[in-house]
Every structure is written in C-alpha cells, then in structure tokens.
Amino acid sequence: MPALAAGGPAVPELPPPGPLVFRQPVIIGWPADGTPTAPPGFFVTRFAEGLDHPRWLYVLPNGDVLVAQARTESMGGFPDEVIAELTKQGLFGKSPDNIILLCNTQSGVTSHLFIEGLNQPFGMALSGDSLLVANTNALLKFPYRTGQTHIDAPPETLLDIPAGEQSGHWNNHWTRNVVVSPDGQSLYLSVGAATNNNENGNEHPERAAIWRLAVDGRGKTMFATGLRNPVGMDFDPETGDLWTTVNERDGLGEDVPPDYLTRVVEGAFYGWPYVYFGTYPDPTHERLNPDRGLTAQATARVPDVAVGAHSVPLGLLFYRGEQFPPAYRSGAFVARRGGVSRAQFIGIDVIFVGFEHGQAQHFNPFLTGFVADYGKGTVHGRPVGLAMLPDGSLLVADDSAGIIWRVGFGNNRQ
C-alpha cells in the first residue's frame, strides 16, 4: 500500500513505472462534412474554421469570442527527427502570436484581427475595463470597451513571467492561463515547469505553480506549488473553489503517472518533481534527492481526480448554462488533448466530470470521434480550449484542425 499523504483524497493504487513509450498522433484533418460525436440529443457544428492553431477561448459579456492563436516553437529534450516531424505536421513552428475576435451575427460569424504582435498568448480575462492577456513571458493589460473589434493601444505589463531564459533556455510548458476571482479582487496565473521533472536541477523556483496577485499586478504570492503543468482553471460555482487541470511528467512508462483534475488549496504542495499522486516517488529524485523525496511524501497533497496517464487535460469549464440537460448542470467539462507517451492513445476527447456538493465524483466521455484510426495512429484534430456562449452552448477549440466546434442541445441551432 502507498504511504499516507498530507491531504486530499485517498492515495490510489498505481502500477509501477515502466519503459519509455513514444507515439506521435498523425494529424489528417476532418472531412468536409465531418464533426466530433456528441451524446444523443446534442448536435455539433463548425462555429469558425480556417484558423491558425486556435488554442484558448474567452467569451466577452456581449457574446463576442476571443481566440488566442499560438504554437509551440521548439521543445528541449526531443530528438531532431521528432521535432522535424512535428514541424511538418504544423504542431511546431512559427507561432501566430495573435488574438482573433469572432462576432456571432445574424448573417454568420465574422472574424477580426483583435490583437497582434504578442508572444505565445494563451489565457485571457476581462477585469473591469481592461483585458488581461497572458503571454508566455508577461501578463499584459489592454484597455477594452464593449464592441471593440481591434486593439492597437500599447499594453501595460503587469508583471514578468519566467520563460526559457531563466530555466536553462528551456520553456517546454509555455502556456500561461489567467482567471479573475469571483469577487473580482484577485488574479490567478498558472505557470508550468520548464522541464519534464527538473532532471538537471535548474528549474526556476516560481514555475510549476499557480500564482495569486491583485488585479493591479501587485502582491504576487505562490498560491499552490508542485503542479508540473497546470493549464485549465475555473471556479466551482457552488463552492467558489478554484480547480485546475494538470499534465504530469513523462518518462515513467505509459501507465503512470496519471494526469489529473484537482481542487487548488491555498498553500498546498502537489508533489512535483519529487513525488506524484501524493506519495509515489519519482525514480530520478529518489536517487538524486532522497531526503527531499521523503519530505515530499509527507507533505504532498493528493489530487482529486485521475483522468488518465498522458491524456493531457487542458481546457476546464464548469457548466453554468441552462441549455444542456440537468445532468450536466453540476460538473465540469475537461478537454483532453492526448499525449505521445502511450502506445494506445487515450484522451483526444472532451469528458464531463460530475460533481456533488463540491466533490468530483466520476467522469464520462462527452465529445469523441477525434481519433480517425487507433491502429494507424491518425487523428482528425485535438481539443484544447473550452468556453460557453451566452445561450449555453459549448465551444471547443481544435488547434490541430483550426476549427472552433459548437456543441448544442435540442433545437438550439441558431
């Protein structure tokens, strides 16, 4: 049995580490009439297409949709031939570095170049009359007025964020997400680790964490640490708790460690890089840093929900609408982009995690069909960002296909 952990749910039984596995999905795109598959009663349409690596979504109060377009430009530790193949598929390469505005009008969805000249933008959030944009290396603040279709005003830099230059020139987890607290007084910023498991010991001390700061950028603190790559963040509308999706480390085989969804507890340490899922020791640090590993086993908080090893959970959205059936009105959607460290893919879908009284209970597939052929390793696209339109329909960013999918229920096609 695994040892007791400092807090959170019970530590699950996990298999031992195994050999390294690498299998890269082959992107083939969607047929002209193809869509992902939703449960009976739901429909899926193309809200927008022809986009350049749409990663993250944010819906403004007037219903306009912001799309952050960014791409991985390089990644330390990968063989040259792998990087060449990923570049050929469009997964690596020059980042678009812009934000597109989509307006849903009576005559259709119109597209506008909203902000350009960014640096791998990802998270976006409205705070008063300002739009916050999380570049990979800085949190920016732009002036915004409702209905605006282009911003050319220079931004204010609220704070700098460590990127490759502070971590041995590696910036493997470049996405930065930002959300505003329900009371509007605080910002939460996710900053993933630069490395896989700090194998060289040069990780920046403020990465692999979620920061909290005031809306003016002051008073930064480390709200939670030991989170290898936290990406999606949202607040449970019932309890006000912050939750996040986290991508765990590679290199320990295809079955461990699980990626996860977890409540973010102030001051909590979630184990990276010394342990995973509460008390399981990382073999590298068990050898190099045994004392720190023992301390981590005694102090790490256990994540709430394992969502599959190397499933790469990214987008997170607690459903607050009324369009979907009641079964979907107490829980969260999670987009699993799918990883490369498994012989048989898992993820590459959107799941729904049911909640009861603030506790995550279970999850089930919701949006599937992204994988074209498991045997051949071909996929049509990969889901990333999630957002909800004012009518309660769900938007899903498919970065590999350049499509934003809209998922609705019943007769709500307009």
Residue 338 lies in a domain: yes
Q: What is the pTM of this model?
A: 0.95
Residue 16 lies in a domain: no
> What is the block-wise mean pLDDT of the chain (414 residues), using blocks of 10 residues?
58 92 94 98 98 98 98 68 63 88 94 98 98 98 97 97 67 94 99 92 92 98 98 98 98 96 98 96 94 95 97 99 97 97 95 96 96 97 99 98 98 75
Residue 414 lies in a domain: no
DSSP assignment letter at 24 = P
The answer to whether 405 touches 74, Cβ cutoff 8 Å, is: no
List, for residues 342-401, the tens digit of each pLDDT value.
999 999 999 999 999 999 998 999 999 999 999 999 999 999 999 999 999 999 999 999
List, for residues 187-232, the tens digit of each pLDDT value.
999 999 999 999 888 889 999 999 999 999 999 999 999 999 999 9
DSSP for 276-313, written as a single string: ETTTEEPHHHHHH-HHHHHHHHHHPBPPSEEEEET--E
Closest listed residue to residue 77, CA positions, set 168, 166, 165, 162: 168
pLDDT value of position 145: 96
Range of the domain at 95: 26-409
Residue 37 lies in a domain: yes
Residue 395 lies in a domain: yes
pLDDT value of position 171: 74
Residue 331 lies in a domain: yes
The answer to whether 274 touches 281, Cβ cutoff 8 Å, is: yes
**For the chain, how many structural domains are there in total?**
1
Residue 302 lies in a domain: yes
- In this structure, what CATH number is given to the domain that contains residue 215? 2.120.10.30
Residue 18 lies in a domain: no
